[in-house]
Amino acid sequence: MKKLPQIQHLIDGQIVGGGSRSQDVFNPATGKAEKRVLLADKLTVEKAIASAQAAYPAWRATPPLKRARVMSKLKILLEENAEQLCALLTAEHGKVLSDSMGELQRGIENVEYASYAPELLKGEHSKNVGPAMDSWSEFQPIGVTAGITPFNFPVMVPLWMWPMAIACGNTFVLKPSERDPSSALLVAELALQAGLPPGVLNVVNGDKEAVDALLADKRVQAVSFVGSTPIAEYIYSVGCAHGKRVQALGGAKNHAIVMPDADIANAVSALMGAAFGSCGERCMAIPLVLAVGDATADAVVAGLKTEIAKMKVGPGTDAANDMGPLVTQQHLDKVTGYVEQGIKEGAKLVVDGRAVKVKGNGYFLGACLFDNVKPGMKIYQEEIFGPVLGVMRVKTLQEGMDLINAHEYGNGTCIFTRDGEAARYFSEHILVGMVGINVPLPVPVAYHSFGGWKRSLFGDLSAYGPDAVRFYTKRKTITQRWPSAGVREGAVYSFPTNR
């Protein structure tokens, strides 16, 4: 039997082994194991943390401009190696190459934002806050930080985290998803080529044992996480119990409202990409449409049915395909289980993607479309994370908004309308963190921040953008006074004021 290539860890600038366990890494388009990834044990994680701890003093003392130049060089290297990175990403995740390229580009934008560190870390200064007294604030790094990232964006989400953490003067331990770890590891190697000193960024591949080691170690000061809500809640509660700063982004069930005055053809086109891009494996995907009025719903369903019939499903390496496979057989089984549950609960399955035929043994599921979805159904309430879109019929905008606001998730939402008043009312009163007006995937650009409300985010600060600077630094305020030489001052026992 042919021995599979082994994916290891990056610790202290070197590719190393660590851990006695390993698991297969599959190509979702073929269903075949093509690599094996080592799963770090507690000792391996502790070595990575020790490396980050040892590198921290010198990196903290490195001027922000020099740290920023590493990010600038990394941006160039990512662009130069884009084809290789996207091939790795598609081979292990399954998404089509054009989608991989889009993911990489959004990650690169975060690297570019981190290269502005000298500007972002400038403090605030006030002169003469009192007699001959000045005060200023500065933002200092916090030490060893860590990130735990999901399978669906193996390049982009790590780049949400460690570039800004490192640009702020911290060191970092990354634990990418063990399902598709190769691209995150290659990006880390490119960071070393860009001039990042050994130990500043370490990558450990692993599962819950590695996660728990990161959460329990006192040397780790902050943890960032993106994944499902149950795991996000676990990361948040355990991390906080160990005294860490934690930012844990969880799941979603994003609704799109389509108003009667909307441009239906354009709305349908937008919904196709939002629902079925990346096979629906996005926390910002649109799995639910709230159509206001039966006429609107009928037009949306008819348009979606027509567009789905044009979709091409197959390996992500074929540029002609619109949608690739789901990431694993287990996830395929889970998503098809939701389709079966929706039928049992009384929703109308307009398009059955289970009938899709693709050569080979890949984890393929075609686009599925339900009509007459109701609030009590599992396909309404739970995150499916697959190519399943449900249409609900509501009578008014307010009825649709009430449903969105009552849902446990509050990650993203959007409205399709030509009515500015309705759009303004919607954006003002909807209880969701990221809102689109005729934009189905309102993912903020790198210089804004990404974060939902309710059970879609645990912690006070969102990911990347300005919030990342605050998450990966601590504010220190310094007040200074130099009394005039030779002047004797008496003791003051009252609280100081500026009267």
Is 80 exceeded by the pLDDT of residue 474? yes
Using pLDDT thresholds of 50, 70 and 90, give the confidence band for residue 484: confident
Is 90 exceeded by the pLDDT of residue 490? no
Give me the residue spans of the domains in the chain. 6-250+456-478, 255-437
Using pLDDT thresholds of 50, 70 and 90, give the confidence band for residue 489: confident
CATH architecture under which domain 255-437 falls: 3-Layer(aba) Sandwich (3.40)
pLDDT tens-digit series, residues 49-97: 999 999 999 999 999 999 999 999 999 999 999 999 999 999 999 999 9
pTM value is 0.94
Check: CB of residue 107 under 8 Å from CB of residue 188. Answer: no
Is 80 exceeded by the pLDDT of residue 497? no
CATH architecture under which domain 6-250+456-478 falls: 3-Layer(aba) Sandwich (3.40)
pLDDT tens-digit series, residues 311-331: 999 999 999 999 999 999 999
Is 90 exceeded by the pLDDT of residue 268? yes
Mean pLDDT of 20-36: 96
Using pLDDT thresholds of 50, 70 and 90, give the confidence band for residue 132: confident
What pLDDT was estimated at residue 487?
76
Mean pLDDT of 386-395: 98
In Å, what is the CA distance from 161 to each residue of 186, 202, 238, 447?
16, 13, 20, 13
What pLDDT was estimated at residue 1?
62
Q: Do domains 6-250+456-478 and 255-437 have the same CATH topology?
A: no
The catalytic residue positions are: 283
Mean pLDDT of 194-214: 98
